[in-house]
Amino acid sequence: MTLALVRYGTIPEVARFACGSVSGLTRGTPVVVETHRGLQVGTFLERVTPVHPADRNGSPPPVVSNPILRTATEEDLTSAARLQQEASAAFEEWSARIAAWDLELELIDLEWTLDRGKLILYVLSERGPDCTKLALQAAAAGLGVVEVQPVSAEGLVSQPASTGGGCGNCGCG
């Protein structure tokens, strides 16, 4: 299997993706990837050689199940730009909701997945109960599928809170 590193997300993450059916990619090529959040536009960084398990001191190789679906089309890029404008326009509204719901979180950014299936709220916070409360409040208000992604001063914190299938282990116990 051929693997590639792709950077994606408003608060960028880099992950390995399978790129078997996509050829001719060069550094900086926009691609559409299936991430743990849904469809997102990313930037191809480079192909990587799979690490043999013996080279990792007996650890199993990383599991890569998400593919690069295609090179991003003009339609994909236009849609991504439109969704980013929508997210920017909704920033103040979401900040006001967080304040009204009395949550100790600071919204730093938000983004839609390319298929508009999920809204990701990036909040300056350590993992904690307010992340879960925000996801639950959004669901109770009928605001669609919302994932709350805590970001610490050091960068992304794993295990987002989401309205799409569980609390995301955001510290709610």
Q: How many residues does the chain have?
A: 173
Q: 157 or 110, which is more confident?
A: 110
Does position 53 have pLDDT exceeding 60, yes or no? no
Residue 35 has pLDDT above 50, yes or no: yes
Q: Which domains does the chain have, with CATH numbers?
A: 3-72 (no CATH), 80-162 (3.30.300)
User: Which pLDDT value is given to residue 128?
Assistant: 80
Of 84, 132, 128, 134, whose CA–CA distance to 110 is shortest? 84
Q: Which phi and psi (to 5°) does residue 141 adopt? A: -85, 0
Residue 166 has pLDDT above 60, yes or no: no
pLDDT of the residue at 33: 95
Average pLDDT over residues 35-56: 81
- Residue reference for tokens 């006001």: 96
Cα-Cα-Cα-Cα torsion 131, 136, 138, 139, nearest 10 degrees, comes to: 150
In angstroms, rounded to a whole number, what is the distance separating the alpha carbons of residues 86 and 73?
A: 20
Residue 64 · residue 51 · CB < 8 Å: no
The confidence score (pLDDT) of residue 6 equals: 95
Side chain identity at residue 29, one-letter code: T
> What pLDDT sits at residue 55?
53
Contacts of 66 (CB under 8 A, 6+ apart): 15, 17, 18, 33, 34, 35, 36
**What local confidence, expressed as pLDDT, does residue 173 receive?**
36
